């Protein structure tokens, strides 16, 4: 995105909750002092909106402003207990399809940590709208909860290509992909396969895959080996908070939520209500988020000026209470004043990256992004609630369904086969997955046959969920349970 030749650039400004107004005010002061031609449109979201009875926490006039400006700088938003349903932060990210969460992490001058001098300078790129954060949950029985982990081929390809493009824009040379594909071969495996598909299109960048638990281990052991780390939503949420601790804490952790249409810039930290109004909070994270915003807008000189001023200020020993103790740290306003006073100065000891425009990936817009040449239905999983043992339930289901078009193959509990018996010692609850296979001519499963099976089962048991067992291009579209052959 390039700045307009004339006039000012409109940006939606959301002060946020708790310490939000203080840190956003600091960032706004610095951005304006740097001469950035920004026209702020101030709107609200979060706790106060929830209290007014709006369940989303995001008013329509805020939505309208974002739809117009396409760029947001915001403070942290709280979801108070007793008000609202969904996080307003997540709502904004999802409604505007800001699919890429970008969290830079680098060593800060004058901020002592156990890793000082190691040269940490990495970026976590987190998929931002899918995975467990779809927030689709059910109590399937009184004692068993389910959350759907939804990861799409298209969403995975977008985020891995974004990560490669982001690496190019900052002159970085390595992209690591962290997944749990060794266990979740379909969901997390989708991300791994998308990464391996995209990597050859970026021959200038070294790709490597790492299991996410090893990524956490390596980030603590040798973080300087990472350059860009791309991962799924839940993994990225955890790892990015870990990485911020390596360089001094959340007070130094900026972030951007970027989509092909809208970008939202914010600090990683929350609203920290116990510090609100005390003029002690560290505003560095949101100031550096504004640096990311300025670069996104094509205001590279202003962005570099602010980043240099932050580093010069830290080098000079002006530090906030989260670093040196709240009894002797600089106040939020005094720290901001120091940064503004240092605009125009340049750090001589810390590199500021020469950032190029980011090329966002553009993929096929069709909803049916993956089009298999062949597909077949081979059976049905029925999730059943029962207090019986697995053997008793299995015998009963076989008797109930013996003359239907499907036969009971096995029953599992918590992902482990428990019927037919394997001789293992697996504890079961009241929640079972019962796998039925089409007896003859698999390929289709008419609704009448599904209805008949469910009628038979429901004559004695509660069922709460069904799932068709499908094959795509001859490959199984479902997993086998532990112990199932």
Residue 412: CATH number of its domain: 3.30.70.1570
Q: Is 482 a member of any domain?
A: no
* 228 contacts 175 by C-beta, under 8 angstroms: yes
Same domain for 319 and 417, yes or no, is no
Same domain? For 130 and 222 the reply is yes
Among the candidates 296, 326, 361, a domain finishes at 361
- To the query of whether residue 166 is one of the catalytic residues in this protein, the response is no
414 and 297, same structural domain?
Answer: no
Domain shared by 332 and 443, yes or no: no
Which entry of 99, 133, 275, 296 is annotated as an active-site residue? 133
Residue 110 domain-assigned (yes or no): no
Burial class (CB in 10 A: 0-12, 13-18, 19+), 86: middle
Which of these is catalytic: 237, 322, 337, 481?
237
User: Considering the domain boundaries, does residue 443 fall inside one?
Assistant: yes
Structure tokens at 267: 């600090």
Helix residue ranges per DSSP H, 75-143: 88-95
User: Could you tell me if 238 and 170 lie in one domain?
Assistant: yes
The active-site residue, picked from 180, 322, 417, 481, is 180
Does some domain include residue 109?
Answer: no
Going by C-alpha positions, the residue among 20, 83, 15 that lies closest to residue 50 is 83
Expressed as residue numbers, the domain containing 215 is 121-246
Q: CA 3 → CA 12, 157, 436, distances in Å? A: 16, 29, 60
The DSSP line for 249-278 is -GGG-EEEEE-SS-EEEEESS---GGGTTS
Catalytic annotation present for 417? no
**What is the DSSP code (8-state) at residue 320?**
B
Residues 179 and 259 in one domain: no
- Clarify whether residues 280 and 388 are in a common domain: no
**Catalytic residue at 409?**
no
Q: In what order do the strands lie in the sheet with 38-42?
A: 38-42, 9-14, 71-74, 263-267, 254-258, 100-106, 121-127, 228-231, 174-179, 206-211
252 in the same domain as 241: no
Asked if residue 242 and residue 125 are part of one domain, the reply reads yes
What's the pLDDT at 4? 46
Q: What is the CATH number of the domain that holds 4?
A: 3.40.718.10
Secondary-structure breakdown of the chain: helix, strand, coil percentages, each rounded to the nearest 5: 35, 25, 40
Secondary structure (H, E, C), 410-445: EEEECCEEEECCCCCCCCCCCEEEEEEEECCCCECC
Measure the CA–CA gap between 216 and 237, rounded to whole angstroms: 12
237 a catalytic residue: yes
Residue 2 forms part of a structural domain: yes
Which are the contacts of 351, defined by CB distance < 8 A and separation ≥ 6?
none
**Residue 23, domain member (yes or no):** yes
* Boundary of a domain, candidates 223, 246, 269: 246
Interval 350-392: pLDDT, tens: 888 999 999 999 999 999 999 999 999 999 999 999 999 999 9
**Residues of the chain below pLDDT 50:** 1-5
Closest C-alpha among 389, 375, 387, 282 to residue 336: 282
Tokens representing 372 are: 């298999």
Catalytic one of 51, 138, 213, 439: 213
- Pair (14, 66) in one structural domain: yes
Domain count, the chain: 3
H helical segments located in 170-274: 187-198, 212-221, 233-246
d(C-alpha 161, C-alpha 180), whole Å? 19
In a domain, 113, yes or no: no
Point out the domain boundary residue: 361, 388, 420: 361
Q: Are residues 240 and 294 in the same domain?
A: no
Q: Are residues 472 and 430 in the same domain?
A: yes
Q: Is residue 484 part of a domain?
A: no
């Amino acid at each position: 995105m390039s700045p307009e030749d004339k006039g000012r650039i409109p940006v939606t400004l959301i002060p946020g909750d708790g310490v939000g107004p203080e840190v956003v005010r600091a960032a706004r002061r610095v951005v304006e002092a740097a001469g950035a031609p920004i026209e702020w449109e101030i709107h609200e979201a979060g706790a106060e909106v929830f209290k007014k009875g709006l369940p989303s926490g995001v008013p329509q006039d805020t939505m309208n402003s974002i739809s117009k400006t396409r760029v947001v700088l915001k403070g942290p938003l709280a979801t108070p207990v007793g008000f609202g349903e969904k996080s307003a932060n997540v709502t904004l990210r999802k409604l505007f399809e800001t699919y890429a969460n970008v969290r830079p992490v680098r060593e800060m001058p004058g901020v002592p940590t156990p890793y000082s001098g190691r040269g940490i300078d990495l970026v976590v790129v987190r998929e931002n709208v899918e995975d467990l954060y779809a927030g689709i949950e059910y109590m399937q029985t009184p004692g068993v909860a389910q959350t759907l982990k939804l990861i799409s081929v298209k969403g995975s390809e977008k985020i891995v290509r974004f990560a490669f493009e982001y690496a190019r824009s900052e002159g970085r040379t390595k992209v690591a992909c962290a997944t749990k594909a060794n266990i979740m071969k379909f969901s997390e495996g989708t991300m791994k396969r998308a990464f391996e598909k995209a990597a050859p299109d970026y021959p200038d960048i070294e790709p490597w895959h790492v299991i996410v638990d090893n990524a956490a281990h390596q980030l603590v052991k040798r973080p300087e080996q990472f350059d860009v780390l791309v991962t799924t939503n839940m993994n990225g949420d955890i790892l990015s908070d870990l990485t911020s601790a390596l360089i001094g804490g959340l007070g130094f952790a900026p972030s951007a939520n970027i989509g092909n249409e809208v970008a939202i810039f914010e600090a990683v930290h929350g609203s920290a209500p116990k510090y609100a109004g005390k003029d002690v909070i560290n505003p560095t994270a949101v100031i550096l988020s504004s640096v990311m915003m300025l670069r996104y807008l094509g205001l590279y000189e202003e962005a570099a000026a602010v980043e240099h001023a932050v580093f010069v200020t830290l080098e000079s020993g002006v530090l906030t209470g989260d670093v040196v103790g709240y009894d002797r740290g600089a106040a939020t306003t005094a720290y901001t004043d120091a940064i503004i006073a240092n605009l125009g100065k340049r750090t001589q000891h810390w590199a500021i990256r020469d950032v190029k425009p980011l090329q966002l990936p553009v993929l096929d817009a069709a909803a049916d992004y993956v089009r298999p040449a062949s597909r077949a239905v081979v059976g049905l999983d029925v999730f059943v609630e029962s207090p019986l043992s697995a053997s008793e339930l299995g015998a009963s289901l076989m008797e109930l369904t013996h003359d239907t078009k499907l036969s009971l193959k096995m029953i599992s509990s918590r992902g482990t086969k428990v019927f037919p018996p394997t001789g293992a010692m697996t504890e079961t609850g009241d929640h079972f997955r019962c796998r039925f296979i089409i007896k003859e001519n698999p390929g289709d499963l008419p609704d009448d046959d599904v209805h008949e099976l469910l009628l038979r089962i429901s004559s004695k048991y509660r069922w709460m969920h069904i799932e068709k067992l499908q094959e795509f291009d001859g490959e199984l579209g479902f997993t086998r349970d532990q112990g199932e052959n």
